[in-house]
Amino acid sequence: MQDDTREQLLESATRLFAAKGFYGASLAGIADELGLTKQALLHHFGKKEKLYAEVLSRISDRMLECVEAARSAHDAPADQLLEALQGIYALSSEAPHETRILVRELLDSERRASEVRSWYLKPFLDALVGITRDIAGKKNLGNTEALSRIYPLLGAMSYFVVSDVVLRQMYGKANYTRMQRRFPEEIREQVEALAASLA
Amino acid sequence: MQDDTREQLLESATRLFAAKGFYGASLAGIADELGLTKQALLHHFGKKEKLYAEVLSRISDRMLECVEAARSAHDAPADQLLEALQGIYALSSEAPHETRILVRELLDSERRASEVRSWYLKPFLDALVGITRDIAGKKNLGNTEALSRIYPLLGAMSYFVVSDVVLRQMYGKANYTRMQRRFPEEIREQVEALAASLA
DNA sequence: ACCCTGACTTACCGATCGGTAAGTTCATGG
DNA sequence: CCATGAACTTACCGATCGGTAAGTCAGGGT
C-alpha cells in the first residue's frame, strides 16, 4: 500500500524534473505535490541523485522495451524500424515530460559526466543501430554510418515533442494539433526513404 | 574600452547559461570567469533576467541574419533553403553553446512564459517558412504545412549539435567527428528530397 | 580646484537549497 | 504486551542564491 506513495513521489519527481531540470526542481517542491515534506522524500530515496537516477532508468527502460517489442513484432527490419520509431513517438508524445528529461540529460551531460555516467540511452541507441544495420543487410554498414542515419530521425522526433509548449504559443493550439497528427506520416516517409537508400 | 568588459561578460554568460541553464548559472560564477564580482555584473545589466534576455536576443539575431543572407544570395528558393540550413548548421556547430541555450529555452518555456514572452525564434522560423512556401510556388502551401516540413530538419540539426558531448562520450571522439563531417551532406539530401516533394 | 559619472568593491539581507538529527506515530508479529 | 521498524514530522545546519546599500576610486569637463 505504501509502495503507492513511492510511486506517486516518482511521478511528481518526473513531472518536476521535466519542467525545471535537476537543479531547478527542489525536493520540497516534489514532496509538496503530495502534501508531504522533503524529509519524507529523503526517507524513500536517500539522496536527490538517487531519486533522479531512478526516474531516469525508469524512462530509458520503457524506451528500450518499446524498441524490443517492435523487433519481435515483425520479420522485415524495415518494418521493425518503422514500428519502433512510431512507437517511441507515440510514447513520448503522450508523455512529453519524459522526453524533456532525456533532452535535458543531453544538455547537462557536461557537468553530470563527472558525477555519474549517464549513458541510459546507449542500449536504446544500440538497438536502433542494430535494426538499421539489418536493413542494410549484407553490404556491411558501419556502426557510425548507421547511427548517422537514424540519429536525425530521433532528433527530429524529440525536438518536436519538446517544442509542444512553444509551438502552441506561437502558432495556436489547433495548428500544433495538426502538426502532431501529421507527424507519424512524416516518420513513415523518412523511414521508407532511409530503407530505400540502404537496401 | 570598457565596452570590452561588457562584451566579455556577455560571452561568459552565454557559456555558463548554455552549460548550466538559467537557474543553474549564478551571477557570481559568470563574473568570476573574468575575476570580477557579481555586483560588477549587476552594475552592467541590472537584473539576471536582463542579462539573459540580451544573451538570447543576440543569438537569435545572428540566426535570423544567417537566413536573410541566404535569401539574398540565391534566386531559386530551394537554393536559399539549402544555404540557410547549412549556414545555420555551420553557425551552431562552431558555437554549440548558443544552440544549447535555444534548446533550453524550449524546455523552460513553460515557466518562463508567465514572466517573459520568449518568442525570439519566431522571426527566424517565419523566414524559413517563407522560403518553404516559395518552393511550393503557386500550389498554395499553408503555413502549418510548411512548418511541418522544415521543423523536423531544424530539430535534427539542433538535437545533433546538442548531443556532441554525449555522443563523443558514448562512441568516441573520432566517430563523432565523422558524423559531424557527414552531417551537411545529410542536410543536402533532406533539403533536396523536400524540394522535390514540394515542386 | 571642483564635482560628477561610470566602473567597480565590500558588506549585508532574506530566501531557499540539500541534507542531518532526533523525535512521533502506528501497524505488526513474537 | 511490548518491541521493532517503517513512514513520516519538526527543527536545524551551512552554503549559496539574487539583489540592495553604501562606499571607493580613477578620469574628464567646466
Please check whether residue A157 touches B, CB under 8 A.
yes
Please state the rounded mean pLDDT for residues B76-100: 97
Closest CB from B148, B170, B179 relative to A122: B170
* Chain A residues with beta carbon closer than 8 angstroms to that of B119: 166, 169-170
CA distance B187 to B90: 11
Please state the rounded mean pLDDT for residues A126-155: 95
Task: State the pLDDT at residue B196.
Answer: 95
Task: State the pLDDT at residue A139.
Answer: 83
- Kindly give the interhelix angle for B122-136 and B77-94, rounded to the nearest 10 degrees: 150
Q: What is the pTM for the complete model shown?
A: 0.95
- Residue B2: band (very low, low, confident or very high) from pLDDT cuts 50, 70, 90: low
* Chain B residues with beta carbon closer than 8 angstroms to that of A107: 21, 100, 103-104, 107, 162
* Chain A residues with beta carbon closer than 8 angstroms to that of B115: none
Please check whether residue B73 touches A, CB under 8 A.
no
Give the CA-to-C1' distance from B189 to C13 in angstroms: 59
For the cut 70, the answer to whether the pLDDT of residue A2 exceeds it is no
**b/e per residue A147-167 (b: at least 16 CB within 10 A):** bbbbbbbbbbbbbbbbbbbbb
**Is B121 within 8 Å of B62 (Cβ atoms)?**
no
For the cut 70, the answer to whether the pLDDT of residue B114 exceeds it is no
The grid coordinates of residue B131 equal: 522560403
For the cut 60, the answer to whether the pLDDT of residue A102 exceeds it is yes
The reply to whether residue B165 touches residue A110, judged by beta carbons under 8 angstroms, is yes
In tens, the pLDDT along B27-48 reads 999 999 999 999 999 999 999 9
The reply to whether residue B151 touches residue A157, judged by beta carbons under 8 angstroms, is no
Task: State the pLDDT at residue B115.
Answer: 56
For the cut 80, the answer to whether the pLDDT of residue B112 exceeds it is no
* Residues in contact with strand D, defined as Cβ under 7 Å from any of its atoms: A 2, 5, 31, 35-37, 39-40, 43-44; B 25-29, 38-39, 42, 47-49
The grid coordinates of residue B15 equal: 557559456
* Chain A residues with beta carbon closer than 8 angstroms to that of B179: 144, 147-148, 151
Longest dimension (CA), chain A: 59
The grid coordinates of residue A57 equal: 532508468
**Is A158 within 8 Å of A166 (Cβ atoms)?**
no
- Residue A59: band (very low, low, confident or very high) from pLDDT cuts 50, 70, 90: very high
User: Within 10 A of B44 (CB to CB), how many other CB atoms are there?
Assistant: 17
Selected residue with higher pLDDT from B139 and A50: A50
Task: State the pLDDT at residue B116.
Answer: 58
Task: State the pLDDT at residue A117.
Answer: 65
**Is B69 within 8 Å of B182 (Cβ atoms)?**
no
